[in-house]
Every structure is written in C-alpha cells, then in structure tokens.
Chain A
Amino acid sequence: MTNGNKFKVSRYILDIPYDVRDKKYIILFNTLSRSLVAVSEKTWKKIKNNNLKEIPAEIFNELVNLGFLLPEELEEREVARTRINLSKYNPTHMGMFVNMTSRCNLACPYCYQDLRKNLNINRDLTVENWNKIMKLIFKKEDILKKVSVVFFGGEPLLNYTVLKKAVLDLDSIKNMGIKSTMAIITNGTLFSKQIGQELSPYIDSIQITLNGMKSTHNKMRPYPDGRGTFDVILKNLVDNIDQYTHKIVIRSNINESNIDSVKSLLKYLKEEYDLHRLLRGVSFEYIFPTQTSICIGESYKLSQHISKLLIEIYTHAVDLGYSIGNPLIFGPCMASHAFSFAVDERLNVYKCPGFLYSTPDGYIDKEGNLIITSSRWYSLINFEPPCALTCKFGPICYGGCKWMATASKSQISCNIEHLRNYNAFLTLYIRSRYQKLLEGEQ
C-alpha cells in the first residue's frame, strides 16, 4: 500500500488515554475524517514517535484508510480544504429547517425567539406554501440523493394537518430515489399517543425539552396563563416511548439555576421509566441570549465556565447510562452548505434557523425557485475561517456558530475555550457508546 512512499501523522488528531478494567487504550479521533479508533499504548507510541515502519502492515493500512496517516509529501491543509469544500458545495444533499408556524402554545421567559414573538402575528405554513417547497425538491430531482428536514416553529404540532401532509410528501420522494430523514423539534405538549402513532413510521427523531423537575420546568416552560407543562409532556413522552424507542432525544437547556434540577430529572426518568435505555439520547445546551440581545451586540461565547457546566451535566447523564451524541462537533454547519437553509411559513429563507424573522436571505417563489436576495447567503457559504485549517479543531468547529458570531460583529465565534476540554467530552462520549465494546463485550 505504501508504494515506496513515506508517511506522516495527521495534524488533526485528538488523543486521550482511556482505561477499561486492566486494558489501557489510547482513543484517537481524527477531526478531519471523523474516524474514531482505540489503539494500544504500544501502537500510539509508534505513531507519536513517527516509528511508522514498526506498525504491522494491516494496522498501518487501516490507519491510512481512516485518515490518521498520510503520505509525507502531502500538505494536509490542502487536503482538508478540498474535503471541506466538497462538503460545502455538495449538491446531492439538501438540509432544511421548516418553520411550520410562528405560533407557540408556551410562554417560556428565556425563549431566544423574541423576533418571532415580537411579530404579533400568528401565521402557519399553508398547504399551498408547503407545495412550493416540494416543487423546489422536484426541480432538483435529477441531482438530489438525500433531503434532511427538521420541522420546528413556534410549536410545529400546532399546524399538525400541514405537518402530516409534509411528512407523507417527503416520505414519497423515496420513489424518486431520494432518501429523506425527518426530525421534529417540539415542546411535547401536543405529542399525543395518536399523533405519535400517525407519525411514527416516518420520523427519525423527535426532540422534546424538559428543563428540570416539575416545579423548575414549569417555571421555565409554562403555558401563557402560567399553568405548568411538565405533567402533560411527561405523559406524552411515556405514552409514546414504545413506538419511538431510540428515536426521542430529551433536550435540557441549562444554566446555574436549574442544573441540579436537571440532574434530578435524569435520575427520575431512569428510575421510574427506564428512559436511559429507551431514549435516543440526551443533549444539553447553555441558555442562550435572545435574538434581539444578539442583534444589539450582547457577546456570547462558550466560555470555560459554561464548558465546565456542560461537562458536569453530561457526566451526570453518562454516569446514569444515558447516550449522548459527540459533543465536540460544531461544524461545518448548514450555514456553510450551499444547498441548506431555514425557511419560515411565508417562504422567506435564511442561511441559519437563528436568523429567522430577521432580514431574510431570499425566498421560494410560487414555481418553487429559490431566489437569493442577500449577499450574506453567498458570503456565509464561501467564507473560510482563517483558523479552519491551522487549528486541529478546525474541521469540527469551522469558525463556530455563525449566529453567535453576529453578536461580536465577527465572522467567527471561536470555541477554543470549550474544545480545549475535549479530553473530558471525548471520554464521556466513549463511555456512553463504546464502553462495553472496549471491555470486550459486544
């Protein structure tokens, strides 16, 4: 395989020691290829010391295939640029955030969507407008291989009739050879067993938010009249878990005031309902400032303090046996992808769901054409952060959140303070998913 070439070690490797019983592994994550492996200390020593010739051929070849080793002559930053650009300009995939309605049946005091709330107009995506989105997909029939849609709002289940039609329409594009994946972000209050049954064959994942035990959650996520929502959400969750096993993600938005309550919630859901085994996973985000505060320049960053809070809650979740996603991957996000966007109920399009109801980047016309009216659309796609290739986190960060970057009137929102804690996050991710495998049990 080497063909006489000399090889070198990738610059995009994160390594952590990982002990399982009497075994000592080194976990390697390549941020460019996103391959994840466990190697022996002996093998890692050979890699690290560049004694590559001492690595058995079979392992050497696998490390090359997975991106950990590459021919010495290659400038890996150019390899990275090419691969990332192939991704950014890949026309065979389309990702869409579809806003089903501007209405919401909750009145969460911390809701980031204050631009939506300030509209004072309740609007739903109509069937007519949904059909225009489908026209857009049909126009790309020859080139598309996959469409990933997230239905959100407002509360998307308030517009259930159109949502159901959208789900069935998207399912039907498999007949054109296009794969679709569908996710719903819902507050869970309307996710009845009947609705769950109707959607279950088509939906890949559902995100439902619980921000702590009953009293804490009810203060943070009440109905407009002040009534709490914990009981109804929990009932819907439990009623639906059998038909949505490994499809539901519990999301908790945390800060210093509710983190302990979220810990209690996770324990409660495990002990009472076995949800640590039945959920797809849990995810946590720090509570963000609103769209308006970002617009007026309130600075926001994943600081060391916030990162530590996230480590604390993720550790608690993994200790209880919950699954988590890889918490290190931030990008390149849909804002960098040429054929992905968020669309509101009036068919205005935005490069990121965080931009919703600010000045749109374009719209979908009645023929299903995507008309771009803002240079921001193109500059977000074409922008290559100066750190993207030089930082070893570049391929999984790519300049961070574009929405947050607007707060500092910058094009990047550096995540380095957070990503420096990769050791902790990667350890938690491995523990949540691969502990048994590494222990030798399948």
Chain B
Amino acid sequence: MEELIVLERGSTSFDEPNFCGVFCNPIKGGDNPY
C-alpha cells in the first residue's frame, strides 16, 4: 500500500474567491468543484 496518495494539490495562495454555496454552487470551490 502506498504511504501517500495526493488526491488534490491545494494552492498556497487562494487566487480566486470562493462563491458560497448558498447562491452559487456551480463554481463552488473554484475551478474543479465536481
């Protein structure tokens, strides 16, 4: 078994605002929400 599997490589700076889920789920969490 591998000791580490990277599933999502986070960004060291949030270069994009999060559009909250209440109104705007289509782009929740940036470029790759789904």
* Chain A interface residues (CB < 8 Å from chain B): 23, 25, 27, 30, 33-40, 42-43, 56, 59, 62-63, 66-67, 83-84, 86-87, 90, 92-93, 95, 97, 146, 148, 150, 152, 181, 183-185, 204-207, 246, 249, 251, 280-281, 283, 285, 288, 323-327, 329-334, 336-337, 340, 353-354, 401, 403-404, 430, 433-434, 437-438
Contacts and interface: CB of A to CB of B under 8 A. Distances in A.
Contacts of A404: 22
A330 B27 contact: no
B15 A62 contact: no
**Interface of chain B: mostly helix, strand, loop or mixed:** loop
Contacts of B34: 246, 249, 280-281, 323-325
A108 to B, nearest CB: 15
A83 B7 contact: no
Contact of A181 (B13, B14, B31): B31
Interface string B1-34: 1111111111111111111111111111101011
A48 B18 CA distance: 30
Contacts of A56: 3
Contacts of B12: 33, 67, 83
A43 B4 CA distance: 8
Nearest to A95: B17
Contact of B11 (A33, A36, A281, A288): A33
B15 A92 contact: yes
A87 to B, nearest CB: 3
B24 A87 contact: no
A152 B26 CA distance: 12
B2 A37 contact: no
B3 A83 contact: no
A30 B6 CA distance: 12
B19 A150 contact: yes
A66 B10 contact: yes
Given A37-B7, A148-B19, A437-B7, 5 more contacts: A36-B10, A93-B16, A97-B24, A325-B34, A330-B21
A377 B24 CA distance: 20
Contacts of A354: 22-23
Contacts of B26: 150, 183-185, 204-207, 249, 280
